[in-house]
Amino acid sequence: MSGSVSSTTTTTPRPVGGKPPVPGRQRRFSRRDRIWALIISLILVPIVLVWVYPFVWTISSSLKSTSEIFGSLSPFSPVLRIGNYTQAWREAQMGRYFFNTVFVTGFSILISVTTAALMGYALGRYRFAGKKVIIAVFALAVFLPEGYTIIPVYDLIDRLHLTGSLWGVTLAEAGGVNIVAVLLFAGYFAQLPAELEEAARVDGAGFVRTFVTVYLPLARPVTATAVIMQFLHSWNDFLLPLVLTLTRPELRTLSVGIYALRGQYLSDWGVMTAAATIALVPIIVVFLLLQRHFVESIAGAVKG
């Protein structure tokens, strides 16, 4: 019949045991939910303040004199003493130590992450005899204290005639490849589809080309995590740089240089906290830039 309009009736699914959603409205929290949120906030806020206070104290103390630091616990000061940073950078040689730390950290990241990715690729994508034993040994090596390996590492660097050089410190830092990074790479590569490898093999790609052009670009989150972990290890490490730079004080890293301030600037806590802040800021910046990839890699490895 002309003029008749055909219509189709659609039904909106109702949630089980609840009312149908109302268009244009967002879910409202019940009074019980708001109370629980308030209780959790009241518990977490003091914990956050306790956790953050040492960082705030360090940064604020770097702008004070020694008397102002110990005269009040308040992080605020009427006078900001920027000269503490100038004195730490020049007179305490933090500038030289900063360059040494950047050199050691940068090249150790390059060596360590490349090695960990290759080892993780072999463990994650290939089957071979003794694979489970190797993974078990790696897992046990995580709990091995660094102090037990300092003597053989020093002996190896000495045999390579690299003692008293930044390259020796770099190889020592990169030599203990982060086992957690290897296991993360292995778990991430294991969950990727095998069709990618088969297609690369059809195109004539070998082991290295398949790894570099196919699998490594897909492992960007795990790579970022490995960079963060190696960065934290090399930047903050104290024992290895201390032992390897005993005869060459000009090759100290920041952690060893800050420790050396304890004797030279025993009464000037403003300079010491300024030096600590110089060493702390790059860590915060790198983690903030790569934190999203860090979370993604952990989630992907656990899922795999």
Confidence of residue 13 (pLDDT cuts 50, 70, 90): low
Confidence of residue 214 (pLDDT cuts 50, 70, 90): confident
Q: Domain ends where: 61, 83, 112?
A: 61
Q: Domain ends where: 40, 61, 82?
A: 61
List the single range of 22-36, 155-169, 208-222 with lowest mean pLDDT: 22-36
Tally of residues, the chain? 304
d(CA 180, CA 116): 9
Regarding whether 259 and 215 lie in a shared domain, the answer is yes
**Residue 177: inside a domain, yes or no?**
yes
Regarding whether 148 and 38 lie in a shared domain, the answer is no
**Confidence at residue 27, expressed as pLDDT on a 0 to 100 scale:** 57
Regarding whether 203 and 142 lie in a shared domain, the answer is yes
By the 8 A CB rule, do 116 and 219 touch? no
Mean pLDDT of the chain: 81
List the single range of 79-83, 103-107, 133-137 with lowest mean pLDDT: 79-83
**Residue 17: inside a domain, yes or no?**
no
pLDDT in tens, 171-180: 999 877 678 8
Split into its structural domains, the chain has a count of 2
Regarding whether 252 and 182 lie in a shared domain, the answer is yes
**Confidence at residue 263, expressed as pLDDT on a 0 to 100 scale:** 65
Q: Tokens standing for 214?
A: 């196919």
**Domain extent at residue 254:** 92-303
Regarding whether 119 and 54 lie in a shared domain, the answer is no
Question: How remote is the C-alpha of 79 from its chain's centroid?
Answer: 35
**Residue 10: inside a domain, yes or no?**
no
Q: Domain ends where: 61, 77, 109?
A: 61
**Residue 8: inside a domain, yes or no?**
no
Find the CATH number of the domain harbouring 106.
Answer: 1.10.3720.10
Highest mean pLDDT among 79-88, 92-101, 198-207: 92-101
Task: Say if residue 304's pLDDT is above 70.
Answer: no
What is the residue whose two structure tokens read 């020093």?
154
Confidence of residue 17 (pLDDT cuts 50, 70, 90): very low
Confidence of residue 266 (pLDDT cuts 50, 70, 90): low
Regarding whether 166 and 40 lie in a shared domain, the answer is no
202-234 residues labelled b (16+ CB within 10 A) or e (exposed)? eeebeeeebbeebbbeebebbbbbbbbbbbebb
DSSP state at residue 18: S
d(CA 63, CA 278): 12
Percent of the chain with pLDDT over 90: 17
**Residue 24: inside a domain, yes or no?**
no
Best CA proximity match to 150, nearest among 176, 177, 170? 176
By the 8 A CB rule, do 243 and 259 touch? no
- What dihedral do alpha carbons 200, 203, 207, 208 form, nearest 10°? -100
**Confidence at residue 3, expressed as pLDDT on a 0 to 100 scale:** 45
**Confidence at residue 111, expressed as pLDDT on a 0 to 100 scale:** 93
Regarding whether 244 and 140 lie in a shared domain, the answer is yes
Q: Which of the pair, 32 or 106, is modelled with greater confidence?
A: 106
Regarding whether 131 and 39 lie in a shared domain, the answer is no
**Residue 70: inside a domain, yes or no?**
no
Regarding whether 252 and 298 lie in a shared domain, the answer is yes
By the 8 A CB rule, do 181 and 226 touch? yes
Q: Which of the pair, 255 or 25, is modelled with greater confidence?
A: 255
**Alpha-helix runs per DSSP H in the chain:** 31-61, 66-71, 83-86, 94-125, 131-141, 150-159, 166-175, 179-190, 194-202, 207-210, 216-218, 220-236, 239-244, 254-264, 269-303
By the 8 A CB rule, do 226 and 161 touch? no
**Residue 259: inside a domain, yes or no?**
yes
**Residue 7: inside a domain, yes or no?**
no
pLDDT in tens, 42-79: 999 999 888 888 888 888 888 888 888 887 777 777 77
257, with CB counted inside 10 A (0-12, 13-18, 19+), is buried
The amino acid that residue 267 corresponds to is: S
**Confidence at residue 6, expressed as pLDDT on a 0 to 100 scale:** 43
Regarding whether 109 and 48 lie in a shared domain, the answer is no
**Is-above-0.95 flag for pTM?**
no
Regarding whether 151 and 51 lie in a shared domain, the answer is no
d(CA 209, CA 216): 10
By the 8 A CB rule, do 120 and 189 touch? yes
Best CA proximity match to 287, nearest among 217, 236, 215? 236
**Confidence at residue 102, expressed as pLDDT on a 0 to 100 scale:** 94
Regarding whether 98 and 55 lie in a shared domain, the answer is no
Best CA proximity match to 169, nearest among 186, 157, 177? 157
Highest mean pLDDT among 52-56, 108-112, 285-289: 108-112
